[in-house]
Amino acid sequence: MKTRCKRFLERLGHFQAMLLLTVMFVIFLTPYALLLRLFGQGKLPPGEWQKVVEQQAELSRLRRTF
């Protein structure tokens, strides 16, 4: 019984998470994406060489996660 309850709660949690992600995608992300596109933003990079701006040897850069 305990296992069944646990499995049910897991599935419920999974369903809620998926629902939340769907809402996020449809309500927030998609309109924002369409707006960006309207103003010519949000494009993916072209297939051309890009200059590497940030070298990673400095400690201050290595401390950052971004």
Q: Which residues bind another protein (CB under 8 A)?
A: 17-18, 21-22, 25-26, 29-30, 32-34, 36, 42-52, 54-59, 62-66
- Closer residue to another protein (CB): 12 or 36: 36
- Least Å distance, CB 16 to another protein, is 12
Alpha-carbon distances, residue 9 vs 21, 22, 23, 38 (angstroms): 18, 20, 21, 42
- Closer residue to another protein (CB): 5 or 59: 59
- Closer residue to another protein (CB): 1 or 59: 59
> Does residue 42 contact residue 33 with C-beta atoms inside 8 Å?
yes
> Does residue 25 contact residue 18 with C-beta atoms inside 8 Å?
no
